Structure 1
Amino acid sequence: MNKGRVEAFTDAVLAIILTIMILEFKTPESFAISAVLDQVPYLISYAIGYLFIGVAWYNHHYMFSKTRWISRNVYWANNFWMFATPFLPVATAWVGKGLNQQGFETFYFLVYLLWSVAYFILSVMLVKANEKDYRPEAAKSIRSMAIYRFMGSWKWVSGQIVASIVAIIYLPALQMVLVFLLIIFVGARFNKDSDQLFN
């Protein structure tokens, strides 16, 4: 399958998602700068969502750059991931209406969980495609990614799920802090060669 077309389609979907997310920011009726304060919870959830998608896109680009051959399994795994990703603007908008509301944060957590499962399946399919294409170094590069190692560890994932559930029960807004920390300390830990792929 043509890798370029899959990447172009994915990029278009992600661009639309980012656009939809900012459209949820409501223009205040008042001319006073204090009117923006009502939008602070949404701005926080938007910033985390934007960072989330930006980091995911970078990692996605890295994995696809390492991969020469797109199998049917990769194509459908990528579609599953893209199916999960558009729920982020919905979850972001909902959390923005009540940053510390249990129902909103529970929905965000479920979306995050679905997205994570989809992303890990895509990563595994890309590893398998590279192994089938006799490119063990490319498969090894994807497996060495911090996000791949984190998602592949049942201990880390179980710990994250337990921490998120406890946060949602006792202090729902803490769930967004956990997501932010995972993006920074796991998702944004890129492989050293990630900015040298096309040199």
Structure 2
Amino acid sequence: MIDVALIHQCADPDLKPAIVERFIEQAGSPDPLAVTIRTGNRAILAPRPTTTEEALELVRQHVGRNVVRVGITQYPAGLGLSDSRELKPDLLDACANVRMGTALFAKVYRIVVKWYGGPRDEAVEDAILAWLTGTFEGVGVFSAPDPGSIGSQEVPMTPSERAEYASDLQVPEPSVTTELDDPNKAGIRVDLSGIGSGKP
């Protein structure tokens, strides 16, 4: 069970303590040194780290190649970083992890609540699911823009408004053209010149 004092001291103030508790109970870990590594739908088993240094080294080994979640909130390690050497030990500090994790979860929650048109109980469940999967309605929630304040009015979106909102959240991938993308620049992969020429 999560320490209530830790929530009050460290959690993002935009989230009600009850939502934070529910989020950590369903998506987090009681262990501040917890490191979860997944590739596709499979978990990669690794020895449980006993020190911050061991946990950080384990994260650095896998971040960028696998999905790595760390700490009490199971924060997505490497988010926004271009180099694993930029990872800091505060990811594994209980208070710092709760602060970062709940701030990011608050954004995910706002994305879901805006889609629903206002705060609802199912929005919390969907936000937790979006946290676990990294997507909501086909949108990558960690890289999507923050919709800002959600207000208190419950005005449900129509299906077309929801679709438009989801498309607005899409972050375009950078367009990188390589020689492999241009068939006119691709080299010969298999020499077929001998076929039909009667040569053995």
Q: Which has the higher strand share?
A: 2
Structure number with bigger Rg: 2
TM-score when normalising by structure 1: 0.32
The higher relative CO (CA closer than 8 Å, separation ≥ 6) is in: 1
TM-score when normalising by structure 2: 0.32
Q: Which has the higher helix share?
A: 1
